[in-house]
Chain A
């Protein structure tokens, strides 16, 4: 089993809004997810990410443009052809959407019954899936008797039952606590590695993207504003929306007493420049600031900082204050040594 390519080409979606004419949910989205890739789409609620995800299995149809999965045009498929595509696309949900009347076993069997698999084949396959998600002891339990993490494991097993080539995740960890989120994301990563299926997930949590997605796209007001390898976007975010999502996850924010006094324009008289320094890969562990102070005599006041890992690659983020008079020289020095800098503002 290998993954399928998901591709959006010039996709737009608008609804007839209640008396206010057309409401545009998505405009001109072009995005491609390679086979076997985990792609995270991040956006605020109402940004259109849910609409985008639902187009991959035809729960929503594009108003313009084309959505294809493994080369098949989802937006134009109807009836049996659409149902066949859907069996190749598993989906998991924020609120799990398990049948309360069926046991774990029964819930996982449902898509197989729907696909018309002979019941002699359903039993063994469901048992395999239950083992894969580690719920052997809960096989005959009902959803009401399970924890949130266990319910999502059932959801994942159910989504995998028809051996799909694509897995869609609709905020699958948003209702879970951080520890459970971690184990569920690990399970998704294992599945991606073992089965090679393409995973497209939507979330509003940058941490989810960082922990699992090799590629990502940022969606804002129905448009993709930034897309690419997760590492690159984390290290060099370009769009303000991306930056605001990142400030939440990189765990570094300006101390309040500085943020409150910071101005966008450089004030008259002596001032300090507040600079974000991002250092990636090998540089992340170099003592570059100490070297600059030693070589150039530029003092740097460190306000906040952290080093993180995306996949196996480290990257760091530092917020520093530098004498504004020496700022340009310092930034030039750091840039030449492979660090990227961004002036956030000035403090007089």
Chain B
């Protein structure tokens, strides 16, 4: 493989990392509060707002039902209005964020629903406000689950980011299609796949390590 191609691989990897990390951060910024709200706003819950809960739930489900590749194409006018272009990494971040947000919201919702209802009751009995309960009890107790959920979301984003390559999004997927497939260079294709596998492995291991670090639900060997 020529130095030129290696340069391309490095560039594509950095583009993928850029797209994935920015859309993961934005997806979390939007998805985390949305997930918290979904988990706490059914009838009789902390932020009881059953109608808003149902409406948002429908929107989230609808967004998650649209196949990603169709989402990318369907929102091109919106993407263009937002970043001025519909091709390139910045443009790819828009559909990636839109796909990640409801996904992350559901993962966060599930993690928060796992928290023992007794803890909410204890906090209410202490005179905590709903926001205090969310901040000090729910988010902290759900942190291991949220960390694993975000890991899953980032891994999915790596896969999605390869798909936006097909519509001019750049990154590893784009490289794999243009060089590996269209120019019939199987070594490039293989290199792209290997890099993706390594990326996913690193993300998965790091996520699990973080989740284990913050999880105090089981006794830990203290090495006395």
Chain A residues in contact with chain B, CB under 8 A? 57, 59, 82-87, 89-91, 93, 95, 97-102, 110-111, 113-115, 142-145, 162, 168
A50 to B: closest C-beta gap in Å:
11
Specify which chain B residues have a CB less than 8 angstroms from the CB of A100 in the assembled complex: 141, 216-217
CB-CB nearest 6 A-B residue pairs:
A86-B127, A83-B127, A97-B122, A97-B118, A111-B126, A91-B125
Cβ B127 vs Cβ A101 within 8 A: no
Inter-chain CB contacts under 8 Å: number: 73
How would you classify the secondary structure of chain A's contact residues: helix, strand, loop or mixed? mixed
The answer, among A86, A113, A115, A142, for a CB contact under 8 Å with B124, is: A86
Cβ A110 vs Cβ B126 within 8 A: yes
Cβ A101 vs Cβ B121 within 8 A: no
The answer, among A57, A91, A110, A143, for a CB contact under 8 Å with B136, is: A110
Residue B61 at the chain A interface, CB threshold 8 Å = no
Taken residue by residue from 210 to 224, chain B's Cβ proximity to chain A (1 for < 8 Å, 0 otherwise) reads as 000010111110100
A146 nearest CB neighbor, chain B only: B219
Cβ A95 vs Cβ B136 within 8 A: no
The answer, among B121, B219, B220, B222, for a CB contact under 8 Å with A59, is: B121
Interchain CA distance A201-B118 in the complex, whole Å? 18
Cβ B136 vs Cβ A97 within 8 A: no
A17 to B: closest C-beta gap in Å:
15
In chain B, residues 104-162, which have Cβ atoms closer than 8 Å to a Cβ of chain A?
Answer: 116, 118-119, 121-129, 132, 136-137, 140-141, 143
Contacts A59-B124, A86-B124, A93-B122 given; indicate if A145 touches B141 (C-beta within 8 A): no
Specify which chain B residues have a CB less than 8 angstroms from the CB of A144 in the assembled complex: 216-220
B62 to A: closest C-beta gap in Å:
31
Interchain CA distance A142-B141 in the complex, whole Å? 13
Specify which chain A residues have a CB less than 8 angstroms from the CB of B128 in the assembled complex: 83, 114
A310 to B: closest C-beta gap in Å:
30
Interchain CA distance A111-B122 in the complex, whole Å? 10
Cβ B118 vs Cβ A99 within 8 A: no
A182 to B: closest C-beta gap in Å:
24
Interchain CA distance A139-B153 in the complex, whole Å? 37
Specify which chain B residues have a CB less than 8 angstroms from the CB of A115 in the assembled complex: 126-127
B144 nearest CB neighbor, chain A only: A101
Interchain CA distance A86-B116 in the complex, whole Å? 21
